Amino acid sequence: MSRCNLPFASWGWPEFAAALCAFARGKVRCGTDIGELERQLGRLLGESNLFALDSGRTALSIGLEGLAKLRSGRLDVIIPAYICPAVVNAIESAGLRPVFGEVGSDLNLSLDSARKLIGSNTLAILVAHMYGCPADIAEFEKLTNEADIFLIDDAAQVVGESVNERQLGTFGDFGLLSFAQSKSMVTGESGAGGILICSNPGLLPIVLERIKSLEPAQSRGKALVAFVWNYLLAPYTSRATYYWQRRIRPSPRSITPARIANLDAGIALCQLESLVFRRNERVQILDSYAKHLSAIDQDIQFPQYAPDRYLARAMVLLPSGSDVEACRQLLRTRSIETRRSYPAFSEDNDPPACASDLAGRLLEVPACSTMSDADVIRVCRCLKNILQGDKFL
């Protein structure tokens, strides 16, 4: 029985070779790969004002601080109630207030809900493309232009995908990408890399001034070793689950903003090189899940699926009332690793209904490039049998 693992990162020899090369040449913190990464990504996204930083969070904090200066006194940032916790932390750390909007069945912020939340204290709306599934960002751009508020295009989980022939991350006033584990380009654990894309010319001087003061990230060698141990070797070390089992709201982690290290930029260049290939591999597995899930069990849904759509994670939606945790335990005994979703956020322990319902029923299933069609069928069958209460698989 082959193991089915979660795709935290897909690295080949080039990534390891790039890392070794950075150490051998003494170019771990500074070097020419940083500028090269900015140039290549700039070309892909069609943007010239693009800055390689140490994380998506740093990009978000710097952009937010800039927006707050342009429109001082406004503190509210409307975000989806279903979102990566790092976003909530970055907003609060910037001294701003997250306002949680409802999400649709695609897990993205609902336009109607966001529109209703706009008030005189609204600074910006942050729209994320959850797990890579594109949000209706062009409509949000119209809305924020009409309401005269800022728009943040959070493309942390996806690189190189477009809507209306415009790249995700390039809409609105600024956008961001992340190279943390489980994103579409991975250089290491959160803190290994991220990109700030500044589209608002008024914001640019503030952002430039702030970035000029940053040093490249430190202690990256140690972080690389930890990442390889915790994530790339997770099937053997069984480490990667620790973070995701904490389903409580994490305490705000302090951010020390930095530029990307040359080591991580070199790895990012390798990931960029293989992006299209890895995308196609992923799309095939997602197609396979969509096909077999609907054939095996109509009650298990795959809400973000669409043909030829890249998804950073394959999130399936279990039927109402399913014991998701028990299901995970049983799958683990069959060597199938799964992960719960983010929790739904709210100011008052009363998250929007749809976000809260989805967060409770979503389960990430393995979608590694090494999985065959037969592996996918096995995962779907096991899920079905477990949900039907058959413990004697």
CB burial class (10 A; 0-12, 13-18, 19+) of residue 42?
A: middle
* Tokens encoding 222: 């140690």
**C-alpha span between 3 and 366 (Å, rounded):** 10
> At CA 144, angle to CA 139 and CA 145, rounded to 5?
95
Least distance in angstroms from the C-beta of 363 to ligand PLP: 18
The one segment of 150-158, 238-246, 303-311, 369-377 that binds ligand PLP by CB under 6 A: 150-158
Residues with Cβ < 8 Å from 86, sequence gap 6 or more?
56, 57, 60, 190, 253
Distance CA 92, CA 252 (A): 8
Which of residues 56 and 66 has its CB atom nearest to ligand PLP in the complex? 56
Select 56 or 98, whichever has its Cβ closest to ligand PLP. 56
Interaction pattern, residues 175-214, with ligand PLP; x per rule: CB under 6 A: ---x-x---------x---x--------------------
Cα–Cα distance, 373 to 286 (Å, whole number): 10
Q: How many CB atoms within 10 Å of residue 36?
A: 17
Q: Is 89 near ligand PLP (CB under 6 A)?
A: no
Tokens standing for residue 4: 């089915």
- Smallest distance from the beta carbon of 142 to ligand PLP, in angstroms? 22
Q: By CB under 6 A, tell whether 57 contacts ligand PLP.
A: yes
Cβ of residue 84: shortest distance to ligand PLP, in angstroms?
Answer: 4
Nearer to ligand PLP (CB atom), residue 89 or residue 301:
89
Which range binds ligand PLP by CB under 6 A, 79-87, 246-254, 256-264, 320-328?
79-87
Q: Quick one: 198 exposed, middle or buried, by C-beta within 10 A (0-12, 13-18, 19+)? A: buried
As a dihedral over the C-alpha atoms of residue 340, residue 238, residue 226, residue 41, rounded to 10 degrees, the angle is -50
Q: Is 154 in the site for ligand PLP (CB under 6 A)?
A: yes
Question: Can you tell me which of 34, 77, 128, 268 binds ligand PLP, judged by CB under 6 A?
Answer: 128
Q: Which stretch binds ligand PLP (CB under 6 A): 1-9, 20-28, 81-89, 262-270?
A: 81-89
**3-state SS string for 117-165:** HCCCCEEEEEEECHHHCCCCHHHHHHHHHHHCCEEEEECCCCCCCEECC
| Alpha-carbon gap, residue 75 to 390, rounded angstroms | 51
Closest C-alpha among 144, 148, 136 to residue 108: 136
DSSP secondary structure string for all residues of 206-235: HHHHHHHTPPBPS-HHHHHHHHIIIIITHH
Shortest separation between residue 86's beta carbon and ligand PLP, angstroms? 4
The candidate with the shortest Cα–Cα distance to 285, out of 370, 211, 221, is 370
Closest approach, Cβ 174 to ligand PLP, in A, equals 13
Restricted to residues 37-56, the positions that interact with ligand PLP (CB under 6 A) are 55-56
List Cα–Cα distances, 281 to 4, 22, 239, 328, 372, in angstroms. 15, 29, 25, 25, 11
Kindly tell me which of 28 and 180 has the beta carbon lying closer to ligand PLP.
180
Instruction: Tell me the closest approach of the beta carbon of residue 134 to ligand PLP, in angstroms.
Output: 13
Give the range of 84-92, 198-206, 223-231, 354-362 binding ligand PLP by CB under 6 A: 84-92
The nearest distance, CB 296 to ligand PLP, in angstroms, is: 30
Work out which of 34, 62, 77, 84 binds ligand PLP, going by CB under 6 A. Answer: 84
User: Does 156 interact with ligand PLP (rule: CB under 6 A)?
Assistant: yes
128 or 344, CB closer to ligand PLP? 128
Minimum CB separation of residue 217 from ligand PLP in Å reads: 12
Residue in the structure block whose two tokens are 């082959």: 2
Minimum distance between the CB of residue 157 and ligand PLP, rounded to whole angstroms? 5
Q: Which residues bind ligand PLP (CB under 6 A)?
A: 55-57, 84, 86-87, 128, 154, 156-157, 178, 180, 190, 194
